[in-house]
């Protein structure tokens, strides 16, 4: 993979260009400066090159985040093979533009200067001033209207090594870290990758967009997604949009790390657990700041966790400390284990043997002398594992019996920690005789299959 950094002063359209090149709205875009703070990564394929684009925060912003943003940009530049220097020539070159240019000369990486927001040929007159920066011919582009992007990537690729083999996209395991603000999500991500990839601060809401970081562990490729803290009620429009982005990241994830503060467990954790539960994705509860819990409070804290998160009691739990790097490897090992189970497929013959055993262990529901009959069980899908049970009457299935089957699947079929789905399909006549069979077939054709709750 070849890394390319996108840099520039605030509000010149870096995130818009990043989104356009990776082909989706990965970065938050707004009309005011300072939205992007961390370095956000996205993968694109161009002419047999697999390129990791890095969207950096606005440099020389003059605000309280200026130093932290520049530190993250400098770390990104260390791995970059080329740099895209974005400017807005219609506003003219500012002191910040010259500061960024001087900094790039000291860094010593190949630089491609792009003049963004040049929507038509008549705006090319703004390019003359950019020659004075000393980086050669500036390219006119428009991230909003996709103008000049092929010319831009052709020049970027000219600085990258040739790839002799075909490059194809290998799907990684995507893991999203979710939680309320200031529970230590960014600190955990930094501890995992071994570097300060995201800005960490005591100020809640420091992370304002989901930040994707590629990472390899034990031969497995991961994309770790640090999401913005999900508040009960966002204070600003940018916070509300950041929360929407966090929820979108959850939908695209394979696994969710639900990060909770061991010293602060309340109703908000219940709401976040519901959000993770409804996603249908495997959830691992990460109890961070465990080192701050006194020894005499460990039992009570564990009990509080059990009570608050009782409806996802099936989810594995890992105790961590981002500062001490305690439990970091447990997070990754648990994720790999649960991912394999989430993707696994079981033989139909084994499922039906267990179905017979379960009917012996627990009496099936019975309505006025007519018992539920389960004829056959098969696995229809993976991720999440979805099991179809053919029965005589789907409306005879009680919630208690369905919970019993969910528990048996997790324990007997080695699906612990994995959300599973049960689909009930009616098969055969409700009563003897041809008329009954015809009525049953007609009802079955009109009636959709009944699906159990996603991750009960």
- pLDDT tens across the length of the chain (456 residues): 789 999 999 889 898 899 888 865 554 444 444 445 578 888 888 877 888 899 888 888 777 778 888 888 888 888 899 999 999 988 889 999 999 999 999 999 999 999 998 877 777 777 888 988 989 899 999 888 878 888 999 999 999 987 655 545 557 889 999 988 889 888 999 899 887 655 445 545 455 456 788 887 766 788 898 887 676 666 666 567 667 777 888 888 999 999 999 998 888 888 888 888 888 889 999 999 999 999 999 999 999 999 988 888 889 999 999 999 899 988 998 998 898 889 888 889 999 999 999 999 999 999 988 999 999 999 999 888 999 999 999 999 999 999 999 999 999 998 888 889 999 999 865 444 444 444 444 444 344 456 664 444
Nearest of 128, 118, 126 to residue 152 by alpha carbon? 118
Radius of gyration of the chain (CA): 27
Domain map (residue ranges) of the chain:
2-157, 173-342, 348-451
CB 262 within 8 A of CB 290: yes
What contacts 399, CB < 8 A, 6 or more positions away?
none
* Residue owning tokens 């920066």: 133
- Domain 348-451, CATH class in plain words: alpha beta
Same fold, 2-157 and 173-342: yes
Token pair 């299959």 is at which residue? 449
Any idea what the Cα angle at residue 220 is, between residues 214 and 224, rounded to 5°? 30
Cα separation, 446 vs 166, in Å, equals: 49
Task: Tell me the CATH class for 2-157.
Answer: alpha beta
What is the SS3 assignment for 258?
Answer: strand
173-342: CATH number: 3.40.50.300
């Amino acid at each position: 993979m070849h890394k390319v950094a996108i840099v520039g002063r605030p509000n010149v359209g870096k995130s818009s260009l990043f989104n356009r090149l990776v082909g989706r709205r990965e970065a938050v875009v707004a009309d005011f400066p300072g939205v992007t703070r961390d370095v956000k990564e996205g993968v694109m394929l161009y002419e047999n090159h697999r390129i990791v684009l890095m969207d950096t925060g606005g440099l020389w912003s003059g605000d309280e985040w200026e130093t932290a943003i520049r530190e993250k940009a400098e770390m990104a530049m260390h791995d970059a093979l080329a740099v895209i220097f974005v400017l807005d020539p219609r506003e003219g070159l500012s002191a910040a533009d010259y500061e960024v240019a001087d900094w790039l000369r000291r860094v010593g990486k190949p630089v491609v200067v792009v003049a963004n927001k040049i929507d038509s040929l008549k705006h090319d007159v703004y390019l003359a001033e950019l020659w004075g920066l000393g980086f050669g011919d500036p390219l006119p582009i428009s991230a909003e209207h996709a103008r000049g992007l092929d010319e831009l990537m052709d020049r970027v690729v000219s600085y990258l090594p040739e790839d002799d083999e075909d490059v194809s996209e290998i799907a990684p395991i995507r893991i999203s870290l979710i939680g309320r603000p200031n529970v230590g999500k960014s600190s955990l991500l930094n501890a995992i990758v071994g570097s300060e990839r995201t800005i960490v601060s005591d100020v809640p809401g420091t992370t304002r967009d989901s930040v994707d970081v590629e990472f390899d562990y034990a031969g497995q490729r991961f994309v770790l997604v640090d999401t913005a803290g999900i508040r009960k009620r966002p204070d600003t429009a940018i916070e509300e949009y950041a929360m929407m982005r966090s929820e979108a990241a959850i939908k695209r994830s394979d696994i969710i790390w639900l990060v909770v503060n061991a010293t602060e467990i309340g109703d908000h954790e219940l709401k976040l657990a519901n959000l993770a539960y409804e996603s249908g994705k495997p959830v691992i509860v990460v109890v961070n700041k465990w080192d701050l819990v006194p020894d005499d409070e460990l039992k009570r804290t564990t009990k509080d966790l059990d009570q608050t998160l009782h409806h996802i009691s099936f989810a594995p739990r890992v105790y961590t400390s981002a500062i001490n790097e305690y439990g970091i490897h447990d997070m990754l090992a648990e994720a790999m284990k649960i991912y394999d189970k989430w993707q696994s497929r079981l033989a139909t013959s084994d499922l039906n043997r267990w179905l017979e055993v379960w009917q012996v262990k627990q009496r099936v529901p019975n309505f006025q002398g007519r018992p539920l009959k389960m004829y056959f069980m098969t696995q229809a899908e993976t991720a999440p594992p979805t099991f179809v049970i053919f029965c005589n009457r789907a409306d005879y299935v009680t919630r208690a019996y369905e919970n019993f089957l969910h528990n048996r699947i997790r324990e007997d079929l080695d699906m612990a920690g994995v959300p599973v789905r049960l689909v009930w399909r009616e098969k055969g006549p409700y009563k003897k005789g041809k008329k009954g069979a015809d009525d049953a077939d007609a009802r079955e054709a009109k009636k959709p299959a009944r699906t159990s709750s996603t991750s009960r």
